[in-house]
Amino acid sequence: MVRLEMVSEGTVKTKMEAVYLSEFCDVFYADDKNVVLVHWKKYCELKQYRTPLEHALNVIKNHPGCNYVADTRDGFEDNPLDTKWVADYFMPKAKEYGCKIIYFIIDNNNSLKEELEGQENDSSELLEFRYIYGVDEV
């Protein structure tokens, strides 16, 4: 089991347990914050995009009250098929499994503003959305 400490801009340290690691995306669980963190590293689509999110759903399902954090700072826009899958499958399942808040870690320019707001608009009746600059803000 891989563990790491993420140090944010301040002195806050969050211990993360690696759940899934790939060249496209890493998924971690932070017990102290009860969140699953999905760190997108480079563009991917379909199975490469959905597999990490399936792992995130398993974490949410197995940790009551677990929320979801997506690190979007290495930004890229989704394939429209994946955007639809997120709205039709991922968001409803996250809610079903007990997730209440979706956090988007954004860069200073919020370079994915339109896409993230689109995801929020598609699912705001299911979940609360918050925009943050680091995991320490959870």
pLDDT in tens, 27-50: 999 999 999 999 999 999 999 999
Q: Which domain holds residue 70?
A: 3-137
Please give the C-alpha separations between residue 77 and each of 24, 111, 128, in angstroms, as whole numbers: 13, 10, 21
> How many domains, in total, are found in the chain?
1
Q: How confident is the model at residue 13 (pLDDT cuts 50, 70, 90)?
A: low
Is residue 81 within 8 Å of 49, Cβ to Cβ? no
CATH code for the domain of 80: 3.30.750.24
In sequence order, which residues have a C-beta less than 8 Å from that of residue 84 and are 6 or more positions away?
none
The pLDDT, as a whole number, for residue 87 is: 94
**pLDDT at residue 1 is higher than 50:** no
How far is Cα 52 from Cα 134, in angstroms, rounded to an integer?
20
84-129 residue pLDDT tens? 999 999 999 999 999 999 999 988 877 677 777 878 788 889 999 9
**What is the model's pTM?**
0.86
